[in-house]
């Protein structure tokens, strides 16, 4: 980790990729590419992840984005998708064939929970969930047919932290399951799961990697062999990353280290201030010393804990709605990792994919508000929330 220099990586990837030697790489906004002869056509049509045949198979601009994220994560290769859910679905359906088994932590993004609980079984894939802090429960859930382990750390929306190294070590000692970590919240600036023993990293590029709230995308990072294994199934799904969106994401990656640095400081300052407020029942942020896994977070998350936090309004659902309705700085909106602060009521947002009992089981309290901090001054963000709390 001491040799990791994201600032230099972000400043240099993609320069000089064509004969014209551009500093900013061009957009290959082409659906298909021509070949000089039959042999060249055959090679491009049959080689995995070729960037000179058809953009569903690969594209030079998309490849630049994939290579840049792979560099930041310390992986050999990457595959980009049209969204984070497309990336996760590609991994699950590529690696867990009928008769296979998946072990996943119970605290996950609601869309991933729905995929594993409702969709994967239709393809003959069984799934068991475990509480993310309970390594013994994970060990008990492993089976000889376990093909994939799905983790998210920090996890959305309660920011729980998974001991990635311990889970990965146990998985490798007891089978051949691929350990996949959703690293969207942390970003590769704060955490690199491959360095902790994971096999595969997933990002929703819609969030901090893109960083400007103007694209949808997802990406998987791992070994070349693993990414090619996934590609042979996932490219058939057609959920590819558009070249223009890839170009936007490349532009966003240039400033990722600086943006994350700002997000880390701002989120911690807002979390510390909200923690002192009498109308706030709890604040969930791994950077707080009061977080139950702060020591693990300090080991895994360096130099900070990211842009996302959540807090529980003391008087429940109606009180949370009062606070959200009064906000003038943070927009009521899904997503996070943007230049502007976004706040949402998880119990309302996820009602379509999780019933009330499931929300309670996942620890999503009725009064929970999730906040993704932007570039605004932390005192301005906190003051905006405090004005809403004063109305209770």
**Selected catalytic residue, list 57, 109, 235, 285:** 109
Q: Do 213 and 335 contact (CB within 8 A), yes or no?
A: yes
Q: Given phi > 0 = left and psi -120 to 50 = alpha, else beta, which region is 303?
A: alpha
Q: Do 287 and 353 contact (CB within 8 A), yes or no?
A: no
Angle of helix 378-389 relative to helix 316-326, nearest 10 degrees, comes to 130
**Selected catalytic residue, list 207, 259, 273, 370:** 207
Q: What is the pLDDT of residues 177-232, one digit of tens each?
A: 999 999 999 999 999 999 999 999 999 999 999 999 999 999 999 999 999 999 99
Architecture (CATH level 2) of domain 6-254: 3-Layer(aba) Sandwich (3.40)
**Selected catalytic residue, list 67, 182, 242, 384:** 182
| Active site (annotated) includes residue 109 | yes
CA dist list (Å): 339 to 10, 303, 319, 374, 389? 18, 20, 27, 5, 24
Burial of 27 (0-12, 13-18, 19+ CB in 10 A): middle
| Active site (annotated) includes residue 199 | no
| CB-CB neighbours of 40 under 10 Å | 13
Contacts of residue 59, defined as CB under 8 A and 6 or more positions apart, other chains included, come to: 28, 30, 51, 240, 241, 243, 246
**Selected catalytic residue, list 56, 117, 143, 265:** 56
The CATH number, out of the four listed (3.30.470.20, 2.60.120.430, 3.90.1150.10, 2.40.50.140), of the domain defined by the range 256-389: 3.90.1150.10
| Active site (annotated) includes residue 56 | yes
Contacts of residue 236, defined as CB under 8 A and 6 or more positions apart, other chains included, come to: none
| Active site (annotated) includes residue 285 | no
**Taking 90 as the threshold, does the pLDDT of residue 243 lie above it?**
yes
Angle at 251 between CA 254 and CA 55, to 5 degrees: 130
Assign 366 a pLDDT band (cuts: 50, 70, 90): confident
Q: What is the pLDDT of residues 96-111, one digit of tens each?
A: 989 999 999 999 998 9
Residues of each domain in the chain carrying CATH 3.40.640.10: 6-254
Q: What is the pLDDT of residues 290-329, one digit of tens each?
A: 999 999 999 999 999 999 999 999 988 899 999 999 999 9
pLDDT of residue 1: 45
**Against a cut of 0.75, is the pTM above it?**
yes
Residue 391, token pair as written in the block = 């109305």
Q: What is the pLDDT of residues 79-138, one digit of tens each?
A: 999 999 999 999 999 999 899 999 999 999 989 999 999 999 999 999 999 999 999 999
Residues of each domain in the chain carrying CATH 3.90.1150.10: 256-389
């Amino acid at each position: 980790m001491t040799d990791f220099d994201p600032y230099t990586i972000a400043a240099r990837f993609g320069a000089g990729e064509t004969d014209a030697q551009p500093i900013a790489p061009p957009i290959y906004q082409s659906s298909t590419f021509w070949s000089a002869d039959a042999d060249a056509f055959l090679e491009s049509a049959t080689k995995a992840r070729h960037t000179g045949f058809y953009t569903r198979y690969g594209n030079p601009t998309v490849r630049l984005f994939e290579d840049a994220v792979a560099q930041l994560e310390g992986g050999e290769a990457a595959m980009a998708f049209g969204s984070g859910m497309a990336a996760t679905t590609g991994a699950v359906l590529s690696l867990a064939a009928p008769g296979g088994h998946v072990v996943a932590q119970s605290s996950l993004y609601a869309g991933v929970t729905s995929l594993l609980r409702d969709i994967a079984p239709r393809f003959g894939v069984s799934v068991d969930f475990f509480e993310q802090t309970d390594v013994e429960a994970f060990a008990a859930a492993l089976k000889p047919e376990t093909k994939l382990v799905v983790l998210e750390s920090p996890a959305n929306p309660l920011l729980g932290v998974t001991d990635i190294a311990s889970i990965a070590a146990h998985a490798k000692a007891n089978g051949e399951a691929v350990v996949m970590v959703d690293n969207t919240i942390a970003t590769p600036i704060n955490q690199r799961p491959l360095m902790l023993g994971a096999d595969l990293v997933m990002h929703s590029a819609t969030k901090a990697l893109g960083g400007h709230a103007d694209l949808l995308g997802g990406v998987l990072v791992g070994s070349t062999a693993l990414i090619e294994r996934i590609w042979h199934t996932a490219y058939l799904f057609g959920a590819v990353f558009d070249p223009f969106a890839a170009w936007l994401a490349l532009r966003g990656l240039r400033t990722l280290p600086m943006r994350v640095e700002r997000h880390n400081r701002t989120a911690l300052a807002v979390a510390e201030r909200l923690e002192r407020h009498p109308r706030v029942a709890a604040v969930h942020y791994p950077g707080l010393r009061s977080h139950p896994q702060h020591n693990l977070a300090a080991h895994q998350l360096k130099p900070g804990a990211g842009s996302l936090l959540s807090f529980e309004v003391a008087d429940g659902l109606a009180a949370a709605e009062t606070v959200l309705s009064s906000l003038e700085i943070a927009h009521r909106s899904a997503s996070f990792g943007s230049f502007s602060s976004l706040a949402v009521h998880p119990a309302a947002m996820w009602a379509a994919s999780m019933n009330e009992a499931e929300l309670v089981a996942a620890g999503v309290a009725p009064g929970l508000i999730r906040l993704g901090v932007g570039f605004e001054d932390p005192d301005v963000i906190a003051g905006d929330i405090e004005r809403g709390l004063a109305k209770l």
